[in-house]
Amino acid sequence: MPTFTALTTVTGEDAARALAAAMERMTPEPVGVGVFEIEDGSGLWEVGGYFLEAPDQVMLEIFALAFDARPFALSDLPEIDWVAKVRRELAPVNAGRFFVYGSHDADKVPADPARVPLQIEATVAFGTGHHGTTLGCLKAFDRLLTAGVRPTSVADIGCGTAVLAMAAAATLPEALVIASDIDRVAVDVSEANVAINGLQGRVECIEAAGLDHRRLKAAAPYDLVFANILKGPLIELAPAISAHLATNGRAILSGLLVQQAEAVTAAYVTAGLCLQDRDDLGEWSVLVLQKC
């Protein structure tokens, strides 16, 4: 079944969300509408709708005029089994001691007992370990372990597939590990991956926006917080992450572009953390900060 997309950009979050709400009432009805900030300092937001039938182009033109948005770009996506495509194209990832792979590459798992294999299936959730941000977080965590750091409580905020939470659980058998995501699908995927890796009872997966959940609050303070999300949410969460960190606790942050690293660092310094390490992988940055 083909999928049709309609994408536009508009200035300001309020206008973007209002446009998205209007699109949700269209006929034919979209199967999903997304709103995303374009983090280049332009103030623009992208609004996109996904349809199983061709959208009403006249209505989209009216919406664009009404909300002062750019004309919608319409396209239809080919019928592709994206999961199968990802499985074919994603090779296993080496990140320090961690070896991230899909079931189709199970025969490539190293026999070396010092390596930590993590099986992550290609799904609709983010964070397979192949993206520069996830890879960078794993490498940063590996460096901390090599330096003798042993957190006893870990939170993975915006966990995606829970690969970072599982890396912590697999290497810190006595640690409390909680993985949270705002997306219920990501939580379900995380729970499935935890089971695949035999880590049931070691990683607690919950649905939460940031750290706003009674379980996350009750388990604080944390020795380590992962947050592999985006620049905007990272800056917004700086005070909360700092408040939930133990004295000398660390935060491993990513999901940000190289040119965004200074702004994110400044937000966390203001919140009481000190920059320990920064690693740039291509266009992405990974920050390791410690509560001063």
Domain check: are 92 and 27 in the same one? no
Residue 62 has pLDDT above 70, yes or no: yes
The mean per-residue pLDDT over the stretch 31-56 comes to 86
- At residue 131, the pLDDT reads 59
* Torsion sign, CA atoms 175, 147, 190, 184: positive
Cα–Cα distance, 273 to 251 (Å, whole number): 9
- At residue 43, the pLDDT reads 87
Domain check: are 143 and 211 in the same one? yes
Domain check: are 87 and 189 in the same one? yes
**Ramachandran sector of residue 239 (left: φ over 0; alpha: ψ -120 to 50; beta: rest):** alpha
- At residue 173, the pLDDT reads 95
Domain check: are 249 and 115 in the same one? yes
Domain check: are 71 and 203 in the same one? no
Domain check: are 73 and 174 in the same one? no
What is the b/e burial string over 239-272, where b = at least 16 CB atoms within 10 angstroms of the residue's CB?
Answer: ebbbebbbeebbbbbbbbbeebbeebbebbeebe
Domain boundary among 50, 77, 104: 77
**Ramachandran sector of residue 213 (left: φ over 0; alpha: ψ -120 to 50; beta: rest):** beta
The pLDDT-based confidence of 282 (bands split at 50, 70, 90) is confident
Domain check: are 126 and 262 in the same one? yes
Residue with tokens 């190289």: 258
The total number of structural domains in the chain stands at 2
Cα–Cα distance, 156 to 203 (Å, whole number): 10
Average pLDDT, the chain: 89
The mean per-residue pLDDT over the stretch 244-265 comes to 95
Q: Which two tokens stand for residue 260?
A: 């965004």
The mean per-residue pLDDT over the stretch 62-78 comes to 90
Size (the chain), residues: 292
Give the domain range for residue 33.
3-77
Residue 181: name the closest of 200, 164, 202 by CA: 164
Q: What is the pLDDT of residues 80-134, one digit of tens each?
A: 655 555 555 456 888 999 999 888 788 889 999 999 999 986 554 455 444 568 8
Domain boundary among 77, 110, 131: 77
Q: Cβ-count burial of 190 within 10 angstroms (0-12 exposed, 13-18 middle, 19+ buried)? A: buried
- At residue 125, the pLDDT reads 45
Domain check: are 137 and 274 in the same one? yes
Domain check: are 40 and 98 in the same one? no
Residue 77 has pLDDT above 80, yes or no: no
Residue 142 has pLDDT above 60, yes or no: yes
> Can you give the CATH number for the domain in which 126 is found?
3.40.50.150
Cα–Cα distance, 141 to 137 (Å, whole number): 6
- Give one DSSP letter per residue of the chain, joined into a string: --EEEEEEEEESHHHHHHHHHHHTT-SSPPSEEEEEE--SSS-EEEEEEEESS---HHHHHHHHHHTTPPPPEEEEE----HHHHHHHHPPPEEETTEEEE-GGGGGG----TTSEEEE----SSS--S-SHHHHHHHHHHHHHHHTT---SEEEEET-TT-HHHHHHHHH-TTSEEEEEES-HHHHHHHHHHHHHTT-TTTEEEEE-BTTBSHHHHHH--EEEEEEES-HHHHHHHHHHHHHHEEEEEEEEEEEEEGGGHHHHHHHHHHTTEEEEEEEEETTEEEEEEEE-
Most confident of 63-77, 83-97, 162-176: 162-176
Domain check: are 104 and 239 in the same one? yes
Residue with tokens 């640690």: 175
The mean per-residue pLDDT over the stretch 196-218 comes to 95
Domain check: are 282 and 169 in the same one? yes
- One-letter identity of residue 68: D
- One-letter identity of residue 166: M
> Can you give the CATH number for the domain in which 56 is found?
3.30.70.260
Domain check: are 104 and 58 in the same one? no
Residue 211 has pLDDT above 70, yes or no: yes
Residue 79 has pLDDT above 70, yes or no: no
Cα–Cα distance, 32 to 20 (Å, whole number): 10
Residue 39 has pLDDT above 70, yes or no: no
Domain boundary among 46, 77, 108: 77
